[in-house]
Amino acid sequence: MTEKRNILKDLFSKQMLIVFLLGFASGLPLLLTGGTLKTWLAREHVDISTIGYFSWVGMAYSLKFLWSPLLDRFTLFKIGRRRSWMLVTQGLLMASIYYLGTLNPLQNLTTMAAMAVLIAFFSATQDIAIDAYRRELLSNEELGLGSSLGIYGYRIALLLSGGAGIGLVGSEIWPITWGQLYYIMAGCMIVGVLTTLFAPEPKVDSPPPRTLMEAIVDPFSEFLRRPGAWFILLFVFMFKLGDALSGALLNPFYVEMGFSNADIGLIAKTFGLMSSLVGLFFGGLVIYYIGIYRSLWIFGVLQGLSTAAFALLTHTGPQAWALATVVVFEDVSSGMGSAAFVAFLGALSNKKYTATQYAILSSIATLGRNFFSGFTGDMVKSLGWGPFFYVCAIIAIPGLLMLIGMRKYQTAENI
C-alpha cells in the first residue's frame, strides 16, 4: 500500500505538472518541421525523394550536443540558467513557426527548408534546456514516472500539431489553410512560456562550469572514463533506430495508400495519441515495478513487431479498421519504449553536466534517425512500402541484442 501511495503522490505533484507542460512545449515544434510539413508537401505533389530529404532538417536534434555546453556554462538573465534559455528559445519558436506559415511550397520551397532548419535548431536548443531541467528537478526514483508524464505532454502536442491540425486543413467542420495551422501552432507555444515563467529554477549541488572549456571538455571526459562507455553509446544509437526510420515517412505513406486527411487526423493521430498515452501509463508503471533494464527488453521486442505491422496496410488498402489496428499497436509499443528509453538516458546523466551529457546521449539516439531518414524516400522507391517496413523491423534487432551486454554497465540502482 505504501508503494501505491507514493506513486499517486508523485503522479499528482507540482513537479510532475511542470514536467508535463514542458513536455508539451518540447513536442509542439517537432511535427511542424516533420510529419505535418511532409503531409503539406505531399498534398502539393512535391517529389517523394525531396520530401525524404526534408528529414535532414531534424539533424539539429542530433547535433545539439555541439552547443549544449553553452547552456551549462551561461545564464542569460536572472530567472535562472535553465529557465532563461527555455524562455528565449520559446519566443524564437513562436516567431519562426508563424513565418513558416506565410510561405508556399510551390513558390518558396528553398526558403521553407531554411526556415524548417531554423525552427529545428531553436526546438533542439529548447530541448537541451528542458531535458536538463527535468533531470535536475527529479530524483532517480521519479525518472520513470517523470519521463512518462513528459512524453504525455509531448504526445498531446503531437496530436495538436499533427492529427488535429492535419484533420482541420480543408475540413468541413472548421476549415483552415496550412498557413493558418502554423499561425495557430505559433500561438500554442504560449503554454511553454507561461510554464517557464511560473516554474521554479531547479536546485543542484554542483556549481556550473567555471569556464566554457570546462563545460565542453569535462562532460565528455567524465562519461568516457566510465566502464563500457563506447558500448553504451552504440546501444543508445541502435535501440530505436528501426522504429525511428519506419516513422520517417508515415504521413506520405498514408497519403499514398489512399487515406484522407480526416482518416490521418482522426485515426492515425487521434487514436494514435490515445493508444500512446495508454502505453506511457503502463510503461511508467512497469518501469516502477521491474526497473528500466527489463522494461527495455519487453518494450523493445514490441517495438520491432509493431514496425513490421505497417506492411499490413499495403495488403488491405485504405481500410479504417486496418489503420486503427496497426496504429494502436505501434503507438502503445512506442509509448512504452519511449518511457523506458528516456528514463534510461536520464539515469545515465551526471547532474553536474546535465545539459551537455543528456544532449550527447539524446543526440546519439536521434543521429541515425535524422541522418538515415533522409534516404528513406529512396529506400521506398527501391524496395516498395511493404519490404521497407520489414527492413526497418530487422534493423531493430541488433540494438535489442545489445541489451545482453548492457546489464553489466548499469550505472544507477534503479536501472
Range from 3-7, 55-59, 163-167 that averages highest in pLDDT:
55-59
pLDDT surpasses 80 at 184: yes
204 in a domain, yes or no?
yes
Q: Judge whether residue 138 has pLDDT over 60.
A: yes
Give every CB contact of residue 98 below 8 A, 6+ residues apart in sequence.
182, 183, 186
Which residue range(s) make up the domain with 349? 2-409
Classify residue 306: in a domain, yes or no.
yes
Identify the pLDDT of residue 25. Answer: 96
**146 pLDDT exceeds 60?**
yes
Q: pLDDT value at position 269?
A: 62
User: Is residue 103 a part of any domain in this protein?
Assistant: yes
Q: Does residue 414 lie within any of the structural domains?
A: no
* Number of domain units in the chain: 1
What is the pTM assigned to this prediction? 0.74
Confidence of residue 284 (pLDDT cuts 50, 70, 90): confident
Cα–Cα distances in angstroms (integers) from residue 235 to residues 62, 300, 368, in the given order: 15, 12, 12
Residue 175: which region, alpha, beta or left (left: phi > 0; alpha: psi -120 to 50)?
A: beta
Is residue 415, in this structure, part of any structural domain at all?
A: no
pLDDT in tens, 187-202: 999 999 999 999 999 8
Supply the CATH number for residue 182's domain.
1.20.1250.20
Over residues 114-135, the mean pLDDT reads 93
Residue 4 has pLDDT above 50, yes or no: no
CB 232 within 8 Å of CB 226: yes
What is the pLDDT of the chain when averaged over all its residues?
Answer: 84
Say which residue, 244 or 373, is predicted with more confidence: 244
Work out the average pLDDT over 383-388. 90
User: pLDDT, tens digit, for every residue of 286-329?
Assistant: 877 777 788 888 888 888 898 898 998 889 888 888 888 888 88
Instruction: Say if residues 41 and 116 touch (Cβ distance below 8 Å).
Output: no
> What pLDDT shows up at residue 6?
59
Q: How confident is the model at residue 168 (pLDDT cuts 50, 70, 90)?
A: confident
Domain presence at residue 303: yes
End-to-end CA distance of the chain: 23
Domain annotation covers residue 148: yes
For residues 348-375, give the mean pLDDT: 80
Residue 73 included in any domain: yes
